[in-house]
Chains A and B, each alone.
Chain A
């Protein structure tokens, strides 16, 4: 079952899930970096997600389909981003910032931080369902 069909089939679950996500974004947006509570929360979410990811749900019994042939095109932008990031990491020069260096001032804002929290949690939920 796709995310869309799950949402259409269970609108109440979608509303509850959406409200929980908004609540998590609001709370997460106020959790600062380098704080013990933040370490505990992010680590706990990780442990719960790893546990959930290895519980085989019924949907995973679907027939295996071959991935479409041009899968490798995804590797191109990922490789470019990764190589540049590693180069910037090794150079440690203000003229060659890492992606993290660019994101740090953005993530100081609770709104952006909350949005990243929501995106991260949503991505984790999507991965667990696969």
Chain B
């Protein structure tokens, strides 16, 4: 089960990289991660949610 769990994490993260590459192909209908984040961050609630998520990630992995 441990191997399956590691594979799920790895495939999920790899999928994010693949999506970013696909998004940068000419004529792609997939937005880049940056475009998605920009869209979410246009709203103040989305902006604070994204920033706090980023901060929590740093706290979780680097401080605790």
Question: A residues within 8 Å of B by Cβ?
Answer: 28, 31, 33-34, 38-39, 42-43, 45-46, 49-50, 53-54, 64, 67-71, 73-74, 76-78, 80-81, 84-85, 88, 93-97, 99-100, 102-103, 107, 113, 116-117, 120, 123-124, 126-128, 130
* Interface class of chain B by DSSP: helix
Give the B interface residue count (CB, 8 A): 42
Contact residues in B for A45 (Cβ distance below 8 Å): 55, 58
Taking A54-B44, A95-B5, A97-B5 as given, write out 4 further A-B residue pairs in contact, using a Cβ cutoff of 8 Å, ordered by the A residue number: A38-B63, A46-B55, A50-B52, A68-B29
Q: Is B13 an interface residue (CB 8 A)?
A: yes
Instruction: Count A-B contacts at CB 8 Å.
Output: 128
Contact, CB under 8 Å: A69 / B29: yes
